[in-house]
A = this chain, B = another copy of it.
Amino acid sequence: MHQLTNSCFVLQEEFYGKPVITATRETVELESDDILRDADKVDVAFLVVGDPLGATTHTDLILRAHAKGIQTETIHNASIMTALGSTGLQLYNFGQSISIPFYTDSWKPGSWYDRLEENLKFGMHTLVLLDIKVREQSEENFIKGKLIYEPPRFMNPATAIEQILYTENERHPPLKPAKAADAPASPASSQASTPEPLDYPTYLPPAKTLAMTLSRIGTATQRIVSGTLAELSEMSEEDFGGPLHSIVIVGKRIHPLELEFAGRFCVNGEQGNWWKVAKEVYGVERETFDY
């Protein structure tokens, strides 16, 4: 939602025969008076991608309109929040949504990780929205005061998953893997074929999760890929299709039918690992559905 409504794609210059003026993020956030000018006399429509009230910016616009005595009417719309259903996961099992920003060498904010952990603790699914950089200036142009913008950047699931695993590693440095690596290879450990015990009655570390990537959802070229987060981290950017992207981290409170539907999007249709993790980590067995 955030990623949809805050981007500024305006493909048409006319809409139902009326002229369309592109409103950039700056226009909406800093120059909303321009949008509201004369709106007490004539109808002004503010068009967005997704649902108009998913982003704070737009509630702000309504408050400003009402302060000027301008009446408003909101027409709701589909958004990533509902299109999520395409994954086969149940909307009511989703917890709070998170947004992952592009990390830089010196800036790696991880507050979104706390929200993810909270969701996972209670077995909720998590929608992860990926950063979008639109109308960003280069540092050089910014310093020179030149209003030249870099090409738009849309975070790819590959980057997002890398950042998720990076932040998990920062927060929870690998205890068990380190132990296993330090330990001398013994016959006992190398032939350990029994499934890993269910260490996670409630909490599930993100690296252990099943996940899904969603690209161009609701369009003719939509692409959904499901797998373990580890499997998905092996994929290349191109494997996910075009932007906009988002990711879903699957929570433990999941019904076999949700897994059945979601598993159909596994890379190459290979569901072996999907159901292995479902059983060993999520504690959910595959059921036979009568179709």
The 6 closest A-B pairs by CB, nearest first: A53-B85, A67-B291, A51-B82, A76-B78, A92-B97, A118-B122
User: Given A85-B52, A257-B56 in contact, is the A77-B78 Cβ separation under 8 Å?
Assistant: yes
Chain A residues packing against B (C-beta within 8 Å): 1-2, 50-54, 56, 58-60, 62-64, 66-67, 74-79, 81-86, 88, 90-99, 118-119, 122, 124, 129, 217-218, 255, 257, 260-261, 264, 289, 291
22 A-B pairs with C-beta separation under 8 A: A1-B91, A2-B92, A51-B78, A51-B85, A53-B82, A53-B85, A56-B257, A59-B85, A63-B291, A67-B291, A74-B85, A74-B218, A76-B82, A76-B85, A76-B218, A77-B78, A78-B78, A82-B82, A95-B95, A95-B124, A96-B122, A96-B124
Residues of B within 8 A of A54 (CB): 82, 85, 91
Report the separation of the CA atoms of residues A218 and B74 in the bound assembly, to the nearest whole angstrom.
Answer: 7
User: Given A90-B56, A289-B63 in contact, is the A96-B99 Cβ separation under 8 Å?
Assistant: no
Residues of B within 8 A of A51 (CB): 78, 82-83, 85, 91
